Amino acid sequence: MSFDFNNTLKGFYILNSYDTKLMLEISSKLNQLLELKGYERYTFPTIGRVEDLQKEKNFFEFKRQTFILEGNEFYIKPTSEAIAYPIIFDNKQINEFKFYLQGPVFRKESKACKKFFRHREIAFFHEAHAIVSEDNAITTLNEALQIYKEFFKILNLDYELEIRSKEDTFPGAQITYAFDSKKTKVQLGSVHLLDKNFSTVFGDTSNRRIICFGISERILGENLVNDLFAYPVIVTPLVPTIPEEYYEVLKTLKPLVKHFDYKKQTYNNFMDKIENYYKPKYIIEFGLREIAQNKLVIKTKNQKKEVNLKELQTQLKNSLNTIDVLNTYLT
């Protein structure tokens, strides 16, 4: 994950253009899976009534972390369910309801010397909720688990699925399933059977159950290299101006490519930044020597190979998958 470390306040880090594009691609894939199962996207208010927030106190208390507006009547949402559920259960015509939403929630930083405004999960907090009858609760829970299994398969992420202990179960939930990364061991997503705990406190009289599940920006910390996402290929021209014939080949790689300006005096630091910051699968590089020979260099962390420019251009035109072409040169 790539942040602007010039700003070190917790919650004030900045997603760069690469991570923002990756975030949008990821959420788009998840949205498609959810909509196939009947979930629809909604946007709820950012401001809620304090009296609704207080109803959650049987499960957890957000008072110390919540921004209460002047007058003590309204608050800025620290969670989404405190905003959404009162609105939904006020509508007596709604029976079963499946929806998803994404966006930030806000918390007061309680550990800092000075209180300040921060995003809880920045812009990428993606969650889904299903309000269903008792008969459909287990089926919907299994459906939520299957959606995430398919989602992580698309991302090529290896995970371990486990039922959290009582101590680690989400407050107010009967059971919590967690998808943990095999590589980094961090939690990538979770699915909660809230049963009727939350629906009851928010005024439901129909004995309905709630299943909620979500992922956060932690997923961007995984090394996502996939043709579906941005920049698995990095191009680093070691010349001030890219020749036209090279530019024609590089256009074929879009939108997989991120171009960088050449700065000879900082080349070593520049390459370290590329490899550690973007974590590309391939780096394509060329300088004056390669241009004179009509070649370019394809590199990975441990390998590199010179390739004829025209040969690469032909291969790319005849293939639908850029990564497959580059795989033929370095394996």
242-274 pLDDT, tens digit each: 788 887 777 666 545 555 544 443 445 555 555
From 84, 134, 88, 86, select the one nearest 105 (Cα to Cα): 84
Query: What local confidence, expressed as pLDDT, does residue 95 receive?
Result: 81
Per residue of the chain (331 residues), give pLDDT as tens.
443 434 444 455 566 666 677 778 788 889 999 999 999 999 999 899 988 888 887 776 666 778 889 888 998 887 788 889 988 888 767 788 999 998 777 777 655 544 555 545 455 678 999 999 999 999 999 999 999 999 998 887 889 999 999 999 988 899 999 999 998 888 999 999 999 888 888 888 888 999 999 987 778 767 555 545 445 677 777 777 778 888 777 766 654 555 554 444 344 555 555 555 556 777 888 888 888 899 988 888 788 899 998 898 888 888 766 777 888 887 6
- Do 233-327 and 17-221 have the same topology in CATH? no
Query: What local confidence, expressed as pLDDT, does residue 53 receive?
Result: 85
Q: Where are the domains of the chain?
A: 17-221, 233-327
Residues 6+ apart with CB under 8 A from 311: none
Q: In what order do the strands lie in the sheet with 209-215?
A: 40-41, 97-102, 126-132, 209-215, 187-195, 175-181, 159-163
Query: What local confidence, expressed as pLDDT, does residue 180 receive?
Result: 94
Which CATH number among 3.30.930.10, 1.10.10.10, 3.40.50.2000, 3.30.1510.10 corresponds to the domain 17-221? 3.30.930.10
Beta bridge partners of 101: 127
Tokens 């009851």 found at: 200
105-163 pLDDT, tens digit each: 777 765 554 455 554 545 567 899 999 999 999 999 999 999 999 999 888 788 999 99
CB 295 within 8 A of CB 286: yes
Instruction: Work out the number of other CB atoms within 10 angstroms of the CB of residue 318.
Output: 8
Beta strands in 149-302 (DSSP E): 159-163, 175-181, 187-195, 209-215, 233-237, 257-259, 282-286, 295-299
Q: What is the CA radius of gyration of the chain?
A: 24
Query: Which two tokens mark 57?
Result: 């106190």
From 304, 281, 283, 307, select the one nearest 296 (Cα to Cα): 307
CB 170 within 8 A of CB 213: no
Query: What local confidence, expressed as pLDDT, does residue 324 receive?
Result: 78
Q: Report cis status (omega within 30 of 0) of the bond before 255.
A: yes
- Using a cut of 0.75, tell me whether the model's pTM lies above it: no
Topology of the domain covering 233-327:
Rossmann fold (3.40.50)
Query: What local confidence, expressed as pLDDT, does residue 146 receive?
Result: 98
Query: What local confidence, expressed as pLDDT, does residue 34 receive?
Result: 97
Task: Give kind and range of the element (H or E) at residue 314.
Answer: helix 309-317
Residues 6+ apart with CB under 8 A from 205: none
Q: Is 305 helix (H, G, I), strand (E, B) or coil?
A: strand
Task: Give kind and range of the element (H or E) at residue 307.
Answer: strand 304-308
